[in-house]
Amino acid sequence: MVSENFIKKEFTMKLIMTDRPLPLTSAASGGEIRYVDLSSLKIANCVGCFGCWTKTPGRCVIRDDATRVYPLIAESDEVVYVSRLRYGGYDSVMKTMLERAIPVQQAFIRIHNGETHHVQRAVAPKKATIVVYGDYSDEEKDIFRQLVGRNAHNMNFTGYDILFTASDNADGAVEKIVSQWKKY
């Protein structure tokens, strides 16, 4: 058991995870800001084997690029996720990665905010900004707000913002957030 180390651990990483390339790679990579363009990675669908809970706890049995990403999600205390909106949820690229991130949780259940949820491993409490783009209706936006509210329980968000943007404006929205990070 190494839980004590992780309780004491200070999380200071910031993560930008996007489903399409953003024109800020050089500015954002390295140091405490990490940039992950999921569209450039090979990430298979979760197969629901529960191996990361019951065979190799904390480690996915599929050894593809996702295994480099979920540790970053866990370590970051601020995240920006950029995704196309589809039927009121994340589109396939982002959703595939979020499903592959379950090694950061345990199989075991806890009572959290009055509901049953999985116990988190060493996952930093995090502020999340979700930038979603595409063509969407008010109903889709409403479903997405509800979804992120629920994600907050399961992904250790301490707070979150959702920015609904047109496809062309997503880059600018992220740029603004990164420049704010750099000020502090």
Binding site for another protein (CB under 8 A): 1-3, 5-7, 45-50, 53-55, 57-59, 63, 67-72, 74, 86-92, 95-96, 98-99, 101-104, 106-111, 115-117, 119, 121-123, 139-140, 143, 146-147, 150-151, 154
Using the minimum distance from each CB to another protein, give the nearer residue, 117 or 127: 117
Find the shortest distance in angstroms from Cβ 130 to another protein: 13
Q: Give the CA count within 13 Å in the CB-facing half-sphere of 70.
A: 27
Using the minimum distance from each CB to another protein, give the nearer residue, 102 or 131: 102
Find the shortest distance in angstroms from Cβ 57 to another protein: 5
Distances (CA, A) of 32 to 40, 48, 108: 21, 32, 31
Find the shortest distance in angstroms from Cβ 35 to another protein: 13
**What letter would DSSP give residue 40?**
G
Using the minimum distance from each CB to another protein, give the nearer residue, 106 or 165: 106
At 63, the amino acid letter reads R
Find the shortest distance in angstroms from Cβ 48 to another protein: 4
Using the minimum distance from each CB to another protein, give the nearer residue, 68 or 176: 68
Distances (CA, A) of 139 to 86, 109, 132, 147, 148: 12, 32, 14, 12, 14
**What letter would DSSP give residue 16?**
E
Between CA 105 and CA 99 the distance in angstroms is: 11
